[in-house]
């Protein structure tokens, strides 16, 4: 996720006009920002995987409940 954000932010086609260019540039060079993004990704990735599994074909309440309780 952090890599995707870095690539998006550096892409000239990105719609970043709502940000002040100076503040965005300042944010993107801050290592703390990327550490927070990586920490957030570590939290969200298992939730995302559990959600995808819960929505898959063949999943039923027994599987879903067990999966979420194991998180």
| pLDDT tens track for 16-52 | 666 666 676 677 778 888 898 889 999 999 888 888 8
* Domain total in the chain: 1
**What CA–CA distances, in Å, run from 14 to 19, 38, 47, 66?**
11, 21, 28, 41
Return the higher-pLDDT residue of 56 and 39: 39
Residue 12: give the domain boundaries: 2-69
How much is the pTM?
A: 0.53
């Amino acid at each position: 996720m952090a890599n995707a954000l870095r690539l998006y932010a550096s892409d000239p086609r990105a719609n970043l006009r709502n940000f002040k260019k100076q503040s965005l540039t300042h944010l993107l060079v801050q290592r703390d920002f990327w550490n927070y993004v990586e920490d957030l990704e570590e939290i969200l990735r298992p939730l995302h995987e559990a959600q995808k599994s819960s929505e898959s074909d063949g999943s039923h309440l027994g599987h879903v409940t067990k999966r979420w309780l194991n998180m």
